[in-house]
Amino acid sequence: GQQLNQSPQSMFIQEGEDVSMNCTSSSIFNTWLWYKQDPGEGPVLLIALYKAGELTSNGRLTAQFGITRKDSFLNISASIPSDVGIYFCAGQPGTGNQFYFGTGTSLTVIP
């Protein structure tokens, strides 16, 4: 099955630093989703993107739908300890198709 390439795999940062991660695909997607997963819990939706070039924020989080429709980016500004977790991207080629997931970015925030 199709996998999205998500990078980096892991990040260790100091509290207060900004974080960037991205997801790329070999094919075009019409929807990009970003999730956060805490240990032992299900992924929780952070941001949904539905249009090429779209830039959407949710508090300190900002995500962008790449112009080529083959990538998406998630930025976290001024990280805090509760940002720790695994962040996943997901893409959907079009309505009616299944969703494909990245392998996740594990974020550790050092106080």
Which chain residues interact with other proteins by CB under 8 A? 1, 3, 30-31, 33, 35, 40-45, 48, 50, 88, 90, 92, 94-96, 98-99, 101-104
Residue 82 or 95: which CB sits closer to other proteins?
95
Q: How far apart are CA 77 and CA 68, in angstroms?
A: 25
State the alpha helices, DSSP H only, in 6-48: none
Q: How far apart are CA 8 and CA 29, in angstroms?
A: 21
Q: Least distance to other proteins from the beta carbon of 56, Å? A: 12
Residue 15 or 50: which CB sits closer to other proteins?
50
Residue 3 or 58: which CB sits closer to other proteins?
3
Q: Least distance to other proteins from the beta carbon of 93, Å? A: 11
Q: How many CB atoms lie within 10 A of CB 61?
A: 18
Q: Least distance to other proteins from the beta carbon of 30, Å? A: 7
Quick one: which of 72, 94, 71 has its CA closest to 25?
71
Contact between residue 33 and residue 23 where contact means Cβ atoms under 8 Å apart: no
